[in-house]
Amino acid sequence: MRFLIIFALIAAFAPAGANAQNLFDKLQKTIGTVTGQSGGGASGGSGGALSNADITAGLREALKVGTERVVGTLGTADGYNADPAIHIPLPPNLQKVQGFLKKFGLSSLADDVELRLNRAAEAAAPKTKELIWKAISSMSLDDAQTIYKGPDDAATQYFKKVATGDLTATVKPVVDQSLADVGAISAYDNLMGQYKAMPFVPDVKADLSQHATDLALKGLFHYLAQEEAAIRQNPAKRTTEILSKVFGGT
């Protein structure tokens, strides 16, 4: 199993353009030091064997880098709004209002509320990084081994399990404030005022704050899972100090 772990992480974090043969030689040496077996020939003098703690630290650092990249993207203008994969639509009931108003050329009111929901999620995104980092730092050796052996989204599922409560508690107040700051509440009141002024329309209630919070976190986990898969499968865009220590640098 260690062979697979080390192979996957070396493949994931090899710097772009690394020579394939050098990478294979490095892999052989690493396996030899960890297992106590010769890598085929030269004994080499490249330090002691890698510990589980070192490998776990490497994983933690990689996930921190991935989290920073995801949060940095989502926390920019149109990080949610312009991304069809995580764009936050109106709640289902308000989508009906949106469709109804469109018949009268008034859908811009609903469209404005929808835009502001996404702006609130973008404003809240930076607040999630420290909580995800806390979950990563609290990862035990057993947690790390389970993640290594798990599917491509094993770390993301771990985050969902241990951090969703804290994330919700942190993100929702930010969303609440952001909805007020960006004018979503007043836009919603304006929308419903126009809607209710029309005859024979049903009453519609929607919890904009909880809706935006739930989908903001869903979007976050969506891209954390993608970043995790890239960590497992693709060359790293850059290395860090701990990765150099664990995998021998460039």
Would you say 120 and 179 are in contact if contact means Cβ atoms under 8 Å apart? yes
Q: Report whether 163 contacts 231 (CB < 8 A).
A: no
What pLDDT does 53 receive?
78
- The larger pLDDT score, comparing residue 227 to residue 187, is at 227
Q: Mean pLDDT of all residues in the chain?
A: 73
Q: Kindly write down the DSSP assignment for every residue of 164-177, as one continuous string.
A: HHHHHHHHHHHHHH
For 176-209, how does the pLDDT look when each residue is reduced to its tens digit (9 = 90+)?
Answer: 887 777 676 677 777 777 666 666 555 556 678 8
| Measured distance CA(34)–CA(193) in Å, rounded | 68
User: Residue 29 has what pLDDT?
Assistant: 45
CB atoms within 10 A of CB 193: 10
Residue 226 has pLDDT above 60, yes or no: yes
> How many other CB atoms sit within 10 Å of the CB of residue 16?
9
Rounded to whole angstroms, the Cα distance separating 168 from 24 reads 44
Higher-confidence position of 141 and 238: 141
CB 70 within 8 A of CB 78: no
Averaged pLDDT for residues 34-53: 46
Which pLDDT belongs to residue 199? Answer: 62
pTM above 0.85, yes or no: no
Helix H or strand E segment including 60: helix 52-74
Burial of 53 (0-12, 13-18, 19+ CB in 10 A): exposed
Confidence band of 74 (pLDDT split at 50, 70, 90): very high
pLDDT value at residue 241: 58
Which residue has 């491509």 as its token pair?
152
Structure tokens at 26: 């490095």
Q: How far apart are CA 35 and CA 79, in angstroms?
A: 45
pLDDT in tens, 145-170: 788 778 888 889 999 999 999 999 98
Contact 14/235 with Cβ under 8 angstroms? yes
